[in-house]
Amino acid sequence: MKTLIASAFFCFLLHQCIGDIRNLVSYHEVIYASHTHVRDRRSAEGDARSNTREFHFTAFNRSLQCHMRPRLDLLSRDFKLKVYGREGEPPKEVKLDRDQVFVGKCDGDPKSEIRGVFKDGIFSGTVFYEGQLYGIEDAKAHIPPETRDAGEVEERMIVYRASDIKWETGHQPDGHEPSFCGNSYFNPNHVINNGGERVVVDKVNSVPTGGRYKRATQPVWNTCKVVAVADHKFYQEMGSSSVTNTALYIMEVIDQVDQIYRTTEFSSFGGVTGLGFEIGEMRIYQFPTRGFNSAQGSWDGLALLQAFSATSDYQSFCAAHLFTHQSFEGNVLGLAYIAPDSGSGIGGICS
């Protein structure tokens, strides 16, 4: 099963872009935090699994009343958040609350789903309602700093339908269609510091969304433990130079990806379902350092993947994922080493 899960780990990256929203979607609406309503209900017993959050907002001629619970199993039981300062300084371990990602449903549609995070009253995530998928994002990501009205933009959210996204079209210079994710089968010459170790899949029992771990007679190899690394560019631009905001962004992305994988049937592997991810460790770089986190202006995708693979120790994880803030040639959003079917294969790194 180890080989199966490593082989099934394809490159993932959500397309959350920075730029003028009018160039990204054909239609969007703006909602204000002051026009939404958020109310928390905490368990009298102090059990975080029983806490609920109500979120009410209006968009696209709909008034949605949503009920959510915190997802507590996205972070592994031995999760660590390490924050790296300047070159040569040892990392600092920072506490991160587990109840940051919320998942739930909205009134009026039993098949609905809402999931995402809250940052200072701003919700960022997705809503699936009556067959339509909506994205909600912080408006700051789409407004240049020099044109922001701080008093107004701080409470604005942008809402759009997935069907209104303007996907990039055209061909790459080599004649191929644009790709969300490039891939490269593992070449041991590319990874300098792997120590000959195999990439492993963490053995985790199946757990419900609420985060209650159950003891089982036979463990299920279904969860890939990820080390998520944010370079200084991502920390400064997407995280607004905030460790908390950077961590929340990473949690939102991995939660969305985990949900996609858990509900996907991998027909090439005999109809396997229920494969997913948990975050075993986060590493956030606040300043440039040598290697993949250097102050270099731009990288070739493969060169960055090689530098990322060679710089750090990832042997304790099923996959290592680099979050960065830069463009790659050919409309590629990321690049990954894909593990072959052989039991000795290494792969699953996505940058």
Q: What is the C-alpha to C-alpha distance for residues 316 and 25, in angstroms, rounded to an integer?
A: 40
Q: What are phi and psi of 106, to 5 degrees?
A: -115, 145
Number of domains in the chain: 1
Torsion of CA 189, 193, 195, 197, to 10 degrees: -80
pLDDT tens for the chain, residues 1 to 351: 333 333 223 333 333 455 677 778 899 999 999 999 999 988 777 677 778 999 999 999 999 999 999 999 999 999 999 999 999 999 999 999 999 999 999 999 999 999 999 998 899 999 999 999 999 999 887 776 655 565 566 789 999 999 998 876 554 444 444 444 444 444 434 333 333 333 333 333 333 344 444 444 445 578 999 999 999 999 998 898 999 999 999 999 999 999 998 988 887 767 788 889 999 999 999 999 999 999 987 788 888 888 888 866 888 888 889 999 887 766 666 666 665 555 555 544 333
Quote the domain boundaries for residue 27: 2-350
**256-to-16, 152, 277, 296 alpha-carbon distances in Å:** 12, 29, 10, 30
Q: What is the C-alpha to C-alpha distance for residues 136 and 116, in angstroms, rounded to an integer?
A: 9
